[in-house]
Chains A and B, each alone.
Chain A
Amino acid sequence: MRYPHCGETVSAVAQTSKSAVSQVSKPACRAEADQVPIWKSAIRQVWKPALRTIAVFITIAAAQFARADSPSITAVLNNSETVLGQPVQLEIQITGAPDAEATEEILADGLEIHRTGSSQRIEMRNLKLTSSVIYDYTILPLRAGRFTIPPQTIRAGGKLLQTPQLTLNVADLPGRSSGGQPSRGAQSQPASASELVFAELIVPKKVAYVGEIVPVQIRMGFDARVHPRLVEPPEITGQGFTAQKLQQSGENLETINGRPYDVVTFKSAIAAARAGKFEIGPAKAKAQVVVPRTRSAPRSRARSPFDLFDLDDPFSDPFFSNPFSQLAERREVEVKSEPVALEVKPLPPNAPPSFSGAIGNFTMATDAKPKSVQVGDPITVTTTISGRGNFDRVNAPETENERGWHKYPPSSKFKQDDEVGISGTKTFETVLAPNERKQSLPTLAFSYFDPVKEQYVTLRSEPIAITVQGGPATANVATSQPGSSPPATAAKPNSPAPVTTKPQDILYQLTERPRAVESFEPVYTQRVFWAAQLIPLLALIGFAGWKIRRAKIDNREAWRMAALQHEAAELMHKLRRNDASPREYYAEASRAVRVKTALASGGREIDPNMVDAETAADAFKLNGDSRDRLRRLFEQSDEWQYSGAHNGPGRISRENRREVLELIENLRA
């Protein structure tokens, strides 16, 4: 990316986002900056101080180098003890002399020591820079014994530096098997220089017990020139044992017989499932290696000792000197070790009761919290079992003499200290609750089989004093304390402490047999329960039906009354008009009286058609005069209705009309 400078015309600004750039407040070229805004990248803003910091750092470093201390040398073995066939790494570190050059090979009796690599390290401590050159050597023991690596003299910074003399102990390993590894110790197969790959299965024990965890190691070596790639990871074949998942533990370059090998190490552990003599392995894997493509043309070269695939040494091919001169191909090869014999012995009889199958070497520590409780309160007992062995069979310690305690199932967690889980620490937490007053926790016992001592070992926790308050005092507190156990039990350390308290007896038999039949089924699943619900259901339905019927009846009466009121109002309206004939007028007047009488009767439901003058007079409790006038009204109405002739004037006089209206309007209940 190019940034504008003074004197240049800025035609465009590559602004990706507003936050990524900022305007320069004081441009170096003021005149042009006034015309065109100059933007400066955020990266550029950061770079400037960073470059400044680096420059300062380099200056300090140079100064530190300038006044570096005088050169020094150290030589360290990664392990001072090994077994035959197991290489050891030697590291020679020269500090303060970057130009120091170490030898390619170190001569030592019984050891083959080749330089396998070098590296440079620059460290800064308290602003002081130190430069070191590290030379790595691989030491291959050729035989068992105690060997001395002589001091090496190296010229560094104009000085002669000398490494210390180192000692390496090499143990014999009878169980080791070598799958054609070139040029190895006494236990190896005879060297076969024609192999590009090798595998060896290392089982450190020849004899083991059923269930005992035996660590195993697989070393797979590939000629460094074949660019190996594992297609199938190694596996240990065989029957009668279980093997844990293989874990790759390292990869290094070793020189064997002057030829570099990439050696990959895998670790695992096996456990025999039954007694007998077994063959462990072979360990097998499949890998792809790069070899030159075979040619059909007749060979002109002499056969090489590295010929593995088609009786022609692939590494004498020009491919390895110039890989691009011709095509190469990948081939799949099987890498296989020799099997290893293992004798598996059964565990001796008379295992202690607390033995759960743990084999190895363990220690146990116990603690409890809290130490002062009430009866029934929980106490968490933490037991830590550490050591080396088959931790999958390490169960929680047994509680000896649990009487008076309520024990809850323990929980456990395991912390492994190695790659395959042979060594580590398993912690159990058991909750105990005292049912009565106690003075100490019950003893916890853990048993395991020690394959070295070839005997069972029982570890017991130390008595832990506690205070339990409340509840009844224990009848025999001493029985819960291991220290006060009777001599007869002390003679049997592997058996739990005897129970001396008399067991509680159950209550009497009940000879009465109740007549009531009981069922495990909850009552709501029984038919009789749901049948019983019909009683309130029917009662409610009956009540609701009655209420609905009552409401309907009330409603009908209301309608009838409303109709009568309406009719009465209409009749009164007609009576007030002047246009009706006497016949119509008296008929409507008598009808109005009947309707008003029906309305006045209320709940008695009197039919208006059935009302006569006497009924109406009684309903309205009329006096003698009004009663006579009402009687006359009904007579006149009947006369006009039934006589068929006009007995009087064709029209009703005003007085008569007023009299009739007055009579009807005054009819009030």
Chain B
Amino acid sequence: MICVVAAPSALAQTDAQFAKANQEYAQGDFKESISSYESLIRGGPWNANLFYDLGNAYFRTGDFGRAILNYERALALEPHHPEATANLQIARDEAHALELQPSWPERYLRFATINQYSFTAAVAFWVGVSCLVLLIFARRRSAMAAVLLLAMFSILAVAIFSIWQLDRGVKGRALAIVTADNVQARIATADTANSVLALPPGSQVKILSTRGDWIYAALPSNLRGWIPAKSAEQVRL
């Protein structure tokens, strides 16, 4: 009963806060709007538009690194968000951000999302298992059922491979965006170590491991190096 009453009230409150943040943005109070959007994100629930709007606010303040981070988050929630895709490209051009190059399987498998592959795998699995059960109990075994069984388990295998490939790929859970300025990827965990690559804000890196305040990351151009942990944020919260 309490839940039923409280839920619409909380929803109305976040709607009001969202409207306020939008108004601050429209008035040019970008820092205020960033604060409001961040507060909404902390409280949840999340959706792509919220991260997109926050990205726009960061873009207006010239913080291209965080703008790109939030556009990436919007696209992680909704991969076919057209506005986030467009603004991400603009922000990348402005920041000269570097991008990770996807592997060739990942490039081809990107036409669907991990969730779509997950549903496909589930459906293929149950259809395949149903075919198997039918084949076991039927008095007359149907060739059609056998073919369908084979097809379903093939689809299942492809879907599982796609999930694995996308999850560990450049758009996977390890993707992080450089948010600080003048970040140098280095060959060792020391500020004095030789530089591997200069990373403009908004550049993509893939976190491989973490050691103290340093992150070992896969960098654009197939390089690897250490970057300070505070200089990059992971896309997936």
Chain A residues close to B by CB (< 8 Å): 392, 402, 406-409, 411, 435, 503-514, 516-524, 529, 532-533, 536, 540, 543-544, 547, 551
Contacts and interface: CB of A to CB of B under 8 A. Distances in A.
Contacts of B76: 520
B211 to A, nearest CB: 24
Contacts of B118: 522-524, 529
B47 A514 contact: yes
B8 to A, nearest CB: 11
B197 interface: yes
Contacts of A508: 83
B94 to A, nearest CB: 7
A547 B91 CA distance: 62
A524 B197 contact: no
A411 B221 contact: yes
B187 to A, nearest CB: 13
A98 to B, nearest CB: 56
A409 B83 contact: no
Given A520-B236, A536-B130, A540-B126, 16 more contacts: A409-B220, A409-B223, A411-B221, A435-B93, A504-B90, A506-B56, A506-B86, A510-B52, A511-B19, A513-B14, A513-B50, A520-B76, A522-B114, A523-B114, A529-B118, A533-B126
Contacts of B220: 408-409
A524 B22 contact: no
Contacts of A543: 133
A519 B119 CA distance: 16
B189 interface: no
A593 B25 CA distance: 99
A518 B47 contact: yes
A257 B97 CA distance: 67
A316 B152 CA distance: 99
Nearest to A530: B122
11 contacts: A409-B223, A411-B221, A509-B53, A517-B45, A520-B76, A523-B115, A523-B118, A533-B126, A543-B133, A547-B137, A551-B137
Contact of B91 (A392, A407, A506, A529): A506
B46 A517 contact: yes
A521 B167 CA distance: 10
A516 B77 CA distance: 11
B237 interface: yes
A518 B25 contact: no
Interface centre among B91, B122, B130, B194 (most CB of A within 10 A): B122
A540 B133 contact: yes
Contacts of B146: none
A593 B87 CA distance: 93
A410 to B, nearest CB: 9
A513 B114 contact: no
B188 interface: no
A544 B15 contact: no
Given A509-B56, A510-B49, A543-B133, A529 B83 contact: no
Nearest to A551: B137
Given A409-B197, A509-B25, A536 B126 contact: yes
Interface string B63-106: 00000000001001110000100110011011010100000000
A554 to B, nearest CB: 10
B133 A518 contact: no
B129 interface: yes
Contacts of B153: none
A358 to B, nearest CB: 14
Given A506-B56, A509-B56, A544-B133, A523 B49 contact: no
A284 B223 CA distance: 40
Contacts, number: 104
B59 interface: yes
Given A409-B220, A523-B118, A506 B90 contact: yes
A547 B114 CA distance: 36
A514 B52 CA distance: 13
A523 B119 contact: yes
B18 A529 contact: no
B163 interface: yes
B93 A540 contact: no
Nearest to A403: B93
A508 B220 CA distance: 30
B229 interface: no
B26 interface: yes
B48 interface: yes
A516 B223 CA distance: 39
Contacts of B126: 533, 536, 540
A486 B15 CA distance: 51
Nearest to A513: B18
A547 B136 CA distance: 10
Given A409-B197, A544-B133, A544-B137, A507 B47 contact: no
A507 B83 contact: yes
The 4 A-B residue pairs with the shortest CB-CB distance in the complex, in nearest-first order: A517-B45, A520-B236, A536-B126, A547-B137
Contact of B22 (A392, A406, A511): A511
Contacts of B73: 520
B25 to A, nearest CB: 6
Contacts of B194: 392
Interface in B1-52: 14-15, 18-19, 22, 25-26, 44-50, 52
A552 B220 CA distance: 65
Interface string B123-166: 00010011001000100000000000000000000000001000
Interface centre among A522, A532, A540 (most CB of B within 10 A): A522
Contacts of A406: 93
Contact of A509 (B22, B91, B237): B22
A355 to B, nearest CB: 14
Nearest to B199: A409
B221 A510 contact: no
B20 to A, nearest CB: 11
B220 to A, nearest CB: 6
B34 to A, nearest CB: 13
A606 B165 CA distance: 65
A542 to B, nearest CB: 11
Contact of A407 (B49, B86, B96): B96
Contacts of A512: 49
B237 A533 contact: no
A518 B87 contact: no
B90 A519 contact: no
Contacts of A409: 98, 197-198, 220-221, 223
A472 to B, nearest CB: 14
B156 to A, nearest CB: 13
A529 B117 CA distance: 13
A526 to B, nearest CB: 9
Contacts of A532: 122
B87 A506 contact: yes
Contacts of B197: 409
B19 A507 contact: no
Nearest to B76: A520
Nearest to A550: B137
Contacts of B90: 504-506
Given A409-B197, A507-B87, A514-B47, A522 B163 contact: yes
Contacts of A516: 47
A503 B115 CA distance: 36
A508 B98 CA distance: 25
A272 to B, nearest CB: 16
A551 B91 CA distance: 67
A409 B167 CA distance: 26
A533 B122 contact: yes
Contacts of A518: 45-48, 77-78
A657 B87 CA distance: 106
A513 to B, nearest CB: 5
B71 to A, nearest CB: 9
A506 B89 CA distance: 9
A524 B93 contact: no
Contacts of B78: 518
Interface string B214-232: 0000001101000000000
